[in-house]
């Protein structure tokens, strides 16, 4: 309002219009009548105030491109094609499957490849004590790296062994608080957090005796989403399968219930049976951006993920 001449400001104030909000809320004809200002001039003042003071709209597509998102390759061309380029930072990706489906081997392979190919650091949360440093070395060695490069890449993977959901919440919070300080090279370059598996941390809380279990689950989901979205980190975790008895018979579904089913942005389901040519099948069963129900095949060996 300070850009208006003194006479116009005085007329508006006498009419009870003392701010830009007051001016915009009032109909132009009423302002002209109350303040004694020509209608055409009121319309011009309104146009100028909106131009100078109103928020500029931004297209959602432009806002998406401006956010801190990147694609991290998995090391498998077939999986990258299925995921439209790889793991998307800022999002949560779930890998579920029954025993022997290859979930842990997939996590080892992806963590090793990302540390090698991107130079980023990886936090590997290991609640079940299944992390195999030898497998990590073999995956990197299969890429024909020198021993020096293998040591450099494997040194970018930091393993955290913990055994309760509260330890995991504390760890994620320490990441969130430590990353902005930029005083720890590991946190400054962190792009992937692997939790393999998340199921044993949550399932003890979801029984009938623990009414607070779903509250803690929601706290974990919020902590993972905030860490991923605020700091451009991809979170990859594994989940088990449980029996699903329904009208169509007995099948399998991801564990942890309906509440947890909304957690991942992307879900990959691994089959436990091998195909006739000895490969495994991964199916995209949930995605916020891609068509679901699409599958691809790959092989898991001591060298990690390979394409058939």
CB 268 within 8 A of CB 84: no
User: Is the omega angle on the peptide bond into residue 188 within 30 degrees of 0, that is, cis?
Assistant: no
For the residues 57-76, what does the mean pLDDT come to?
Answer: 69
pLDDT at 289: 83
Question: Cα–chain-centroid distance for residue 196?
Answer: 16
pLDDT at 214: 82
122 pLDDT exceeds 90?
yes
Inter-CA distances, 142 with 68, 78, 150, 306, Å: 32, 18, 10, 10
Kindly state the percentage of the chain with pLDDT values over 70: 90
Give the CA count within 13 Å in the CB-facing half-sphere of 24: 12
pLDDT at 281: 92
Q: How many helices (H) and strands (E) does the chain have?
A: 14, 13
pLDDT at 209: 61
Across all residues in the chain, what is the average pLDDT?
86
Whose CA is closest to 189, among 178, 200, 201? 178
Helices (H), 85-132: 103-117
For the residues 235-254, what does the mean pLDDT come to?
Answer: 80
3 pLDDT exceeds 90?
no
Provide the whole-model pTM.
Answer: 0.76
> Which residues have a Cβ under 8 Å from the Cβ of 31 and sit 6 or more positions away?
12, 15, 17, 23, 37, 42
67 pLDDT exceeds 90?
no
Residue 47: pLDDT band by 50, 70, 90 thresholds? Answer: confident
* Strand pairing class (190-195; 234-239): parallel
| DSSP conformation class of 303 | T
263 pLDDT exceeds 90?
yes
> Which residues have a Cβ under 8 Å from the Cβ of 83 and sit 6 or more positions away?
74, 93, 266, 268, 284, 290
Q: Where are the domains of the chain?
A: 6-53, 68-306
CATH of span 68-306:
3.40.50.300
36 pLDDT exceeds 90?
no
For the residues 17-42, what does the mean pLDDT come to?
Answer: 84
pLDDT tens for 77-121 read: 999 999 999 999 999 999 999 988 889 999 999 999 999 999 999
DSSP string, 226-252: HHHHHHT-EEEEEE-EEEEEETTEEEE
Distance CA 160, CA 174 (A): 13
pLDDT at 64: 53
Residue spans of beta strands (DSSP E) within 126-270: 157-160, 190-195, 234-239, 241-246, 249-254, 266-270
CB 82 within 8 A of CB 88: no
Question: Cα–chain-centroid distance for residue 182?
Answer: 21
pLDDT at 45: 85
pLDDT at 66: 47
Distance CA 45, CA 8 (A): 10
């Amino acid at each position: 309002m300070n850009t208006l001449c003194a006479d116009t400001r005085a007329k508006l104030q006498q009419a009870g219009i003392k701010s830009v909000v007051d001016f915009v809320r009032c109909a132009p004809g009423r302002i002209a009548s109350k303040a004694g200002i020509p209608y055409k001039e009121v319309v011009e003042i309104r146009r100028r105030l909106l131009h100078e003071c109103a928020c500029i709209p931004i297209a959602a597509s432009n806002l998406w491109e401006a956010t801190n998102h990147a694609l991290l390759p998995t090391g498998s061309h077939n999986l990258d094609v299925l995921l439209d380029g790889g793991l998307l930072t800022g999002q949560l990706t779930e890998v579920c499957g029954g025993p022997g489906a290859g979930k842990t081997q997939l996590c080892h392979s992806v963590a090793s490849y990302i540390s090698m190919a991107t130079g980023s650091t990886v936090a590997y949360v290991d609640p079940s004590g299944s992390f195999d440093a030898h497998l990590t070395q073999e995956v990197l060695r299969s890429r024909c790296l020198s021993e020096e490069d293998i040591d450099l890449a494997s040194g970018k993977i930091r393993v955290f062994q913990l055994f309760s959901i509260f330890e995991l919440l504390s760890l994620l919070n320490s990441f969130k608080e430590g990353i902005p300080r930029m005083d720890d090279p590991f946190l400054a370059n962190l792009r992937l957090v692997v939790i393999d598996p998340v199921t044993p941390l949550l399932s003890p809380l979801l029984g009938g005796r623990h009414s607070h279990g779903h509250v803690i689950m929601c706290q974990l989901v919020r902590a993972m989403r905030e860490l991923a979205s605020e700091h451009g980190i991809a979170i990859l975790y594994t989940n088990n399968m449980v029996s699903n008895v329904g009208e169509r018979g007995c099948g399998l579904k991801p564990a942890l219930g309906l509440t947890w089913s909304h957690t991942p942005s992307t879900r990959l389901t691994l089959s436990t049976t091998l195909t006739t040519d000895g490969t495994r099948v991964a199916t995209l069963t949930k995605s916020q951006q891609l068509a679901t129900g699409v599958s691809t095949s790959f092989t898991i060996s001591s060298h990690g993920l390979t394409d058939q």
